[in-house]
Amino acid sequence: MINQSDERQSSAGLIITVTLIFSIGYAILRYHVVGPVPWKDFFFFILNKGISLSAFILLAFNFSLRPLKNLGVEIPQNWLNARKMLGLSAFLLVFIHVLMSLLLFSPVIYEKFFKENETLTLLARVSMLGGILAFIFLWDYSLSFYINSKEANVFTQSLISRKPFSLAFILGMIHLLFLDYKTWITPSGWHGGLPPISLIAMIFFVSSYTINLLGSSKIIGSTEIHRR
């Protein structure tokens, strides 16, 4: 039985801290320690990669913790209580990632995204569009924490439901897929044999989305059984 103190406790701070340390640490290891990127590029360029991975991991946790519990996996209550803060922190990190990427976005830094005439390639355009739309839907979802659902009209109800979050998740996967998929299938080019950050983020995305689908279908199945 869960007491009231357990229901209020949250491990958000611990989860966010460990996620940031892992993500930024992995970016440093892959690009600076075993990779060719000079240390002078840590701020903004490599830090941006670590921040983006942190955001994707926190989104994956937010999306999969409750469904994972529905599947029978023992999830601590303080982890479940952390989901709101994980979602809001992920949105903040995505916002930082967007700002930093805009400042860095140029043919000099992201040469593979541009043609010789310095216009975006088709894959880059699809990736950027997916990222922009994902950010918009994630922003929309973040509003759900500040709107009273009982007082919302039908239109607002649709905006503050989990659907925008699901759309943001799918669009985020599209952003990652068209961003860097060519490097995923060429392990010989991985720095120190370490997978690209975009591939790790995609693994978290696919895993959490699968867990969410399985956990949600289990709830629907149980509901149907109870109705019979």
Residue pLDDT, tens place only, 149-193: 554 444 444 444 556 777 887 888 888 888 888 899 999 999 999
Q: How far apart are the first and last CA of the chain?
A: 29
Model confidence band, residue 195 (pLDDT cutoffs 50, 70, 90): very high
pLDDT in tens, 28-82: 999 999 999 999 999 989 999 999 999 999 999 988 999 999 999 999 999 999 9
Model confidence band, residue 226 (pLDDT cutoffs 50, 70, 90): very low
Whether 114 has a pLDDT exceeding 80, the answer reads yes
Mean pLDDT for the chain overall? 83
Tell me which DSSP letter residue 120 carries. Answer: B
Angle, helices 83-104 vs 47-70, to 10°: value is 150
Whether 223 has a pLDDT exceeding 70, the answer reads no
Q: Could you give the CA distance from residue 18 to residue 3 in angstroms, rounded to a whole number?
A: 27
The residue with greater pLDDT, 204 or 112, is: 204
Whether 225 has a pLDDT exceeding 50, the answer reads no
Residue (of 52, 15, 99) closest to 202 by Cα position: 52
Residue (of 181, 179, 170, 178) closest to 205 by Cα position: 170
The domains located in the chain, with CATH, are 4-227 (1.20.120)
Residue (of 19, 20, 15) closest to 75 by Cα position: 15
pTM of the entire structure? 0.82
pLDDT in tens, 196-222: 999 999 999 999 989 988 887 665 445
Q: Could you give the CA distance from residue 144 to residue 157 in angstroms, rounded to a whole number?
A: 9
